[in-house]
Amino acid sequence: MLQVTVAEAKSRLSSLLDAVEAGQAVVITRRGKPIAELVPRCAVRDLLPQLQALRDALPEQQASGVETMRALRDESRV
């Protein structure tokens, strides 16, 4: 992963985009703190298997979302 300052990013944007296009992530920092990350664009369809794996790993919920929200609301009134 490449790390550059804001000033460097301004002056080297074209070459940084070439690096991102080649698959490298670029972190932009301000005063030593990361503020942005340039990463290669990924099609949403490429992420679907990962999202399905995440869904499958989550425990099954016993109550619906509406029931859960109502219960939380009612608890806060007490």
d(CA 49, CA 54): 9
The pTM for the full model equals 0.60
DSSP 49-65: HHHHHHHHHSPPPSS-H
pLDDT at position 78: 65
Mean per-residue pLDDT, 10-34: 97
- 34: confidence class by pLDDT, cuts 50, 70, 90: very high
Average confidence (pLDDT) over 36-60: 94
Which pLDDT belongs to residue 67?
Answer: 94
CA nearest neighbour of 63 among 77, 74, 78: 74
Quote the CA–CA distance of 50 and 71 in Å, as a whole number. 31
pLDDT for the residue numbered 77: 79
- List Cβ neighbours of 37 (8 Å cut-off, separation of 6 or more): 25, 26, 27, 28
pLDDT at 76: 82
